[in-house]
Amino acid sequence: AQKVTQAQTEISVVEKEDVTLDCVYETRDTTYYLFWYKQPPSGELVFLIRRNSFDEQNEISGRYSWNFQKSTSSFNFTITASQVVDSAVYFCALSEAQNTDKLIFGTGTRLQVFP
Amino acid sequence: NAGVTQTPKFQVLKTGQSMTLQCAQDMNHEYMSWYRQDPGMGLRLIHYSVGAGITDQGEVPNGYNVSRSTTEDFPLRLLSAAPSQTSVYFCASSPWGNTEAFFGQGTRLTVV
């Protein structure tokens, strides 16, 4: 069965701290896709990244970086030098090649960045 | 482009009432989905469609109906509202499977 676990319910940091959001997934499929979405206080969901199961290269985009490790079934998200605007709920999600549009979401991690 | 548009943004229903949540997208996407978001539970898939005339059930389909007569529209019908359906509902679309989904702004529904 597919499952996404975000064990951190809420994280609070002070501006400029680095923070890592954890994501652990379960799937029997060998081809799958992992996503991160951001939900700011305004409520909309914003796509951040998509990674397929064959690409284990880490990715960096500005202050954001993602670490994908198949050996531990993890897809962690790090924000470097956090800012108040990073305050949001972050969701990790999984889809499988055999279930093309079924996104399985984790329960989300609420990040609060204080000035 | 408006993207994915959901109406209404807020709705209060009485138990037993029916209503339709509207979702329209102008990106010519084949895939459309409905999710509900409840505190502590993330987003859960209700129904989805991979093209006009094709729909299927997601994780929590009971109490909801969908149809997809056009590429643009994917309405979600609550047949007889129950307090357990109090939630925030999101519609999403994507050009094909396993890719970035574009979400609407959400509909906050309260059933009393």
pLDDT at A100: 65
Tokens of B44: 């859960």
- Ranges of residues in chain B whose predicted pLDDT is under 70: 1
Residues in Cβ contact with A76 at an 8 Å cutoff, skipping those fewer than 6 apart: A20, A21, A22, A23, A66, A67
pLDDT at B99: 85
Taking chain A (115 residues) in runs of 10, the rounded mean pLDDT of each run is: 94 97 95 95 94 88 94 96 97 83 91 97
Are B106 and A44 within 8 A, CB to CB? yes
Radius of gyration of chain A (CA): 14
* Dist. CA B91–CA A104, nearest whole Å: 15
Torsion angles phi and psi, residue A45, rounded to 5: -105, 130
**Which residues of chain A lie closer than 8 angstroms to B50, CB-CB?**
100-101
pLDDT at B98: 81
Of A91, A95, A101, the CB nearest to B42: A91
Helices (H) and strands (E) in chain B, counts: 0, 11
* Dist. CA A80–CA A30, nearest whole Å: 31
Tokens of A12: 């609070």
CA-nearest of A100, A82, A84 to A32 is A100
Of B40, B48, B99, the CB nearest to A102: B48
Are A100 and B50 within 8 A, CB to CB? yes
Are B90 and A47 within 8 A, CB to CB? no
CA-nearest of B70, B69, B72, B68 to B26 is B72
CA-nearest of A35, A22, A24 to A2 is A24
CB atoms within 10 A of CB A42: 9
pLDDT at B82: 97
Are A101 and B43 within 8 A, CB to CB? no
pLDDT at B97: 79
Strand order in the sheet with B64-66: B4-7, B19-25, B76-78, B64-66
pLDDT at A99: 65
Residues in Cβ contact with A60 at an 8 Å cutoff, skipping those fewer than 6 apart: none
3-state DSSP call for residue B63? Answer: coil
